[in-house]
């Protein structure tokens, strides 16, 4: 068994991260397996060396250990590029020059006031650039979901879960997910593409992540089928919420592990706070 924790160094780790990391660590320990760490720093405009250093410090303080060197996504751009080349060679990608406003406008026309429909990756793309044949190198790359599902017609429904108990249909992907961006214009990759390739390279057998990523997991399973990669077991855990019931976010500095540490909490206190 191999589990992983894959934080982005864009802010302090908070209680929700501690919960996820501890669950993944404990699961590997219990099975005599390995726990790995990965730094998800494809968004170079937001990633900071200080946050990365704080991640190592907080996790070590919590009592976690992991093999080094730690995988960093910023070192793997060529791997992402090759995978995009493979998908492109299958005719599954197209260039998109739409910004958020263009998408909103396309969705709300012709009827004024129609609310955009949201999928796991934001607004479901209305397909404006699908047949535009843009050649602009600075464009984003989108996955043609209908074509992707067509190619995998024999594989549906796609199963996943910790015991293969969930399944994904083609129509769900086409209607509720749509043509997602696989390479952002400013990054050359995306969270979805990178996470799938990295989990495969790191031979992760068990992905432990929050319930908030359940819908995103469906995209990951689809990409695994398209790229001929194994699907790990997925364990989606409950979310840690504040007193008002709101899910903790990176900007909730009040819940930062570093803050609790500074206030004299022990690692055992943190475990107790998240119900472990």
Query: Is position 37 an interface residue for ligand GLU (rule: CB under 6 A)?
Result: no
The residue within the footprint of ligand GLU, chosen from 2, 40, 142, 181 (CB under 6 A), is 40
Query: Is position 195 an interface residue for ligand GLU (rule: CB under 6 A)?
Result: yes
Cβ(249)–Cβ(221) below 8 Å? no
Q: Going along 148-200, which residue ranges are E strands?
A: 158-160, 166-168, 181-183
Q: What element of type H or E holds 270? A: helix 267-273
Q: Which stretch binds ligand GLU (CB under 6 A): 61-69, 122-130, 205-213, 224-232?
A: 205-213
Cβ(59)–Cβ(90) below 8 Å? no
Taking the chain, what is the end-to-end CA distance rounded to the nearest angstrom? 21
DSSP 158: E
Instruction: Give CA–CA dist 138/186, Å, rounded.
Output: 8
The pair of three-digit structure tokens given for residue 20, joined into one six-digit string: 């996820």
Q: Which stretch binds ligand GLU (CB under 6 A): 4-12, 173-181, 237-245, 264-272?
A: 4-12
The pair of three-digit structure tokens given for residue 109, joined into one six-digit string: 């026309």
State the minimum distance, in angstroms, from the CB of residue 214 to ligand GLU: 11
Helices 77-89, 191-201: axis angle to 10 degrees equals: 110
Q: Would you say 140 or 207 has its CB closer to ligand GLU?
A: 207
Q: Is the peptide bond before 69 cis (omega within 30 degrees of 0)?
A: yes
Instruction: Give CA–CA dist 204/49, Å, rounded.
Output: 25
Query: Is position 213 an interface residue for ligand GLU (rule: CB under 6 A)?
Result: yes
Q: Would you say 170 or 204 has its CB closer to ligand GLU?
A: 204
Q: Which stretch binds ligand GLU (CB under 6 A): 96-104, 146-154, 206-214, 237-245?
A: 206-214
* Nearest position to ligand GLU, beta carbon: 209
**Nearest residue to 129 (alpha-carbon basis) of 103, 110, 152, 109:** 103
Query: Is position 7 an interface residue for ligand GLU (rule: CB under 6 A)?
Result: yes
Query: Is position 183 an interface residue for ligand GLU (rule: CB under 6 A)?
Result: no
Q: Would you say 7 or 120 has its CB closer to ligand GLU?
A: 7
| Total residues at interface with ligand GLU (CB under 6 A) | 8
Query: Is position 54 an interface residue for ligand GLU (rule: CB under 6 A)?
Result: no
Query: Is position 218 an interface residue for ligand GLU (rule: CB under 6 A)?
Result: no
Q: Which stretch binds ligand GLU (CB under 6 A): 6-14, 61-69, 78-86, 159-167?
A: 6-14
Phi-psi region of 161 (alpha: psi -120 to 50; beta: other; left: phi over 0): left
Query: Is position 18 an interface residue for ligand GLU (rule: CB under 6 A)?
Result: no
Instruction: Please give the residue ranges that form the binding site for ligand GLU (CB under 6 A).
Output: 6-8, 40, 195, 207, 209, 213
């Amino acid at each position: 068994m191999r589990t992983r924790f894959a934080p982005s160094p864009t802010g302090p780790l908070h209680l929700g991260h501690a919960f996820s990391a501890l669950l993944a660590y404990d699961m590997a320990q219990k099975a005599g397996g390995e726990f790995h760490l990965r730094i998800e720093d494809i968004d170079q405009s937001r990633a900071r060396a200080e946050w990365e250093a704080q991640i190592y410090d907080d996790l070590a303080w919590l009592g976690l250990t992991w093999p080094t060197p730690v995988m960093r996504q910023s070192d793997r751009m060529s791997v992402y590029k090759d995978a995009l080349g493979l998908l492109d060679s299958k005719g599954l990608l197209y260039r998109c020059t739409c910004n958020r406003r263009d998408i909103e406008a396309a969705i709300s026309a012709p009827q004024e006031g129609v609310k955009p429909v949201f999928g796991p990756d934001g607004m479901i793309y209305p397909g404006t650039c699908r047949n535009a044949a843009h050649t602009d190198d600075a464009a984003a790359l989108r996955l043609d979901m209908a074509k992707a599902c067509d190619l995998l017609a024999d594989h549906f429904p796609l199963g996943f879960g910790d015991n293969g108990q969930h399944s994904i249909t083609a129509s769900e992907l086409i209607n509720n997910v749509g043509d997602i961006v696989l390479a952002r214009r400013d990054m050359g990759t995306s969270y979805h593409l990178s996470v799938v390739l990295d989990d495969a390279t790191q031979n992760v057998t068990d992905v432990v992540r929050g319930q908030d990523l359940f819908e995103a997991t469906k995209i990951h399973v689809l990409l695994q089928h398209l790229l001929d990669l194994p699907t790990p077991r997925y364990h989606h855990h409950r979310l840690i919420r504040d007193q008002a019931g709101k899910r903790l976010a990176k900007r909730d500095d009040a819940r930062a592990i570093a803050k609790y540490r500074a206030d004299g909490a022990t690692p055992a206190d943190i475990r107790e706070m998240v119900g472990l």
